[in-house]
Amino acid sequence: MNFFQRLQALDRRWVYLLVAITVTVPLVFVYDSPTYTTEPTENIYQMIDRFAEINERGEQRRAIFLNFHHDAATMPELFPQETAILRHAFLRGVPVFTFTILTTAAPLIDFAIDTVKREIQATNPEKDIVSGVHYINIGFKPPALYLPIILGMGDDIAEALETDAEGRNIADLPMMEGIRNYEQMNLVVQFSGSSFGQEWFIYARPQFGVNVAAGITAVIAPDTYPFQQTGQLIGILGGLKGAAEYEKMVDLFANRGRPFSRDIARSQHVSIVDDEVPYQFRVARIGMNAQNAAHIMMIIFIIIGNIGYFLQRRKEKVLE
């Protein structure tokens, strides 16, 4: 038997073992691979950062609204997106609303907020992220109220949502000072594994002009990009790659007090005070290392398999 025949006769369990090793090694032996940022991700980052600049200048405040529309099954791709945006907003002082109409998503909101708060306080002990002051977790609201809430927030957010996850009256919370409707809360990001916030750009965007972005799994990203091209979505985080891009921008800019630069974001080697920027936030980027290794291995298998197949066909024709 030649090389290709031996490969085709190989017990598939050896292939599974090789796949497991290929995926595990990058997760155990961490390295910093290049992460290229793309415009759909950059658009979301820039809008949130502009809200921070408005708040710093003492102008009318701007807040963001994060809609968790998924369960634990899609956490590997969506949870790093959520923590990256929460991290950015908390570091830059942008008020955040969190919300869901899925009972299974309510614990994920708490987990994401607690994860980012612990992370920030571990590196910035003087920075205390307080519920009701820096963020309001609306928590779960019944699906029947979804459309009334979307439309009602165009007039009065506190009246449409009424209470937060802790049962407090939203109108009485300090964060609501200067925030009334979509004019002050002008970005909705929906994280979803199966849809991408069409209710928001069907109802809220045409009537109130609210900006809508999507955090989605990679499998539905191709169906989503046309909505950005038409302007219905201002940005997209596509799968783990989108989360990795956002993590990189928070590292380069928000975490270091630098203004956003597309050239810097897309470059591979950035120096700040003659030192390379260390990757502090890299959960998604570590996951991308494993994903890239698995993809490369599969491409190699496909190439070798096709070569072996056509050589075998050629040999059979010669024998005929």
Lowest mean pLDDT among 39-43, 187-191, 274-278: 274-278
Closest to 64 measured CA to CA, from 250, 209, 212, 208: 212
Specify if 31 maps to a domain: no
Specify if 48 maps to a domain: yes
What per-residue confidence (pLDDT) applies to 269?
61
Q: pLDDT of 51-78, one tens digit each?
A: 998 877 777 789 999 999 999 999 999 9
- Residues 17 and 42 grouped into a single domain: no
205 pLDDT exceeds 80?
yes
318 pLDDT exceeds 80?
no
Phi, psi of 85 (to 5 degrees): -70, -40
The burial of 141, by beta-carbon neighbours within 10 Å (0-12 exposed, 13-18 middle, 19 or more buried), is given as: buried
What per-residue confidence (pLDDT) applies to 274?
42
What per-residue confidence (pLDDT) applies to 29?
86
Task: Report d(CA 211, CA 44) in Å as an integer.
Answer: 10
- Residues 254 and 269 grouped into a single domain: yes
212 pLDDT exceeds 70?
yes
The burial of 273, by beta-carbon neighbours within 10 Å (0-12 exposed, 13-18 middle, 19 or more buried), is given as: exposed
Specify if 136 maps to a domain: yes
Specify if 222 maps to a domain: yes
b/e code 97-118 from CB counts within 10 Å (16+ = b): bbbbbbeebbebbeebbebbbe
- Residues 12 and 62 grouped into a single domain: no
* Domain that residue 56 falls in: 36-281
Average pLDDT in the chain: 89
pTM of the predicted model, to two decimals? 0.88
Specify if 193 maps to a domain: yes
Beta bridge partners of residue 192, listed in sequence order: 69, 216
Q: pLDDT of 279-293, one tens digit each?
A: 678 889 888 888 889
- Residues 275 and 247 grouped into a single domain: yes
- Residues 12 and 55 grouped into a single domain: no
C-beta atoms surrounding 193 within 10 Å: 18
Specify if 71 maps to a domain: yes
- Residues 101 and 232 grouped into a single domain: yes
- Residues 48 and 11 grouped into a single domain: no
Task: Report d(CA 36, CA 138) in Å as an integer.
Answer: 34
43 pLDDT exceeds 60?
yes
- Residues 115 and 257 grouped into a single domain: yes
Q: pLDDT of 142-198, one tens digit each?
A: 999 999 999 999 999 999 999 999 999 999 999 999 999 999 999 999 999 887 678
Which of 134-143, 250-259, 308-317 holds the top average pLDDT? Answer: 134-143
- Residues 71 and 167 grouped into a single domain: yes
What per-residue confidence (pLDDT) applies to 281?
81
What per-residue confidence (pLDDT) applies to 273?
47
Q: pLDDT of 19-35, one tens digit each?
A: 899 999 988 888 777 88
Q: pLDDT of 89-147, one tens digit each?
A: 999 999 999 999 999 999 999 999 999 999 988 888 888 999 999 999 999 999 999 99
- Residues 267 and 295 grouped into a single domain: no
Closest to 247 measured CA to CA, from 270, 265, 271: 265
The burial of 145, by beta-carbon neighbours within 10 Å (0-12 exposed, 13-18 middle, 19 or more buried), is given as: middle
The token pair at 139 is 């928590």
Specify if 49 maps to a domain: yes
Lowest mean pLDDT among 77-81, 108-112, 302-306, 309-313: 309-313
Total domains present in the chain: 2
- Residues 204 and 274 grouped into a single domain: yes
Q: 278 pLDDT band (50/70/90 cuts)? A: low
- Residues 296 and 277 grouped into a single domain: no
Supply the CATH number for residue 249's domain.
3.40.50
Specify if 128 maps to a domain: yes
Give 142's DSSP letter: -
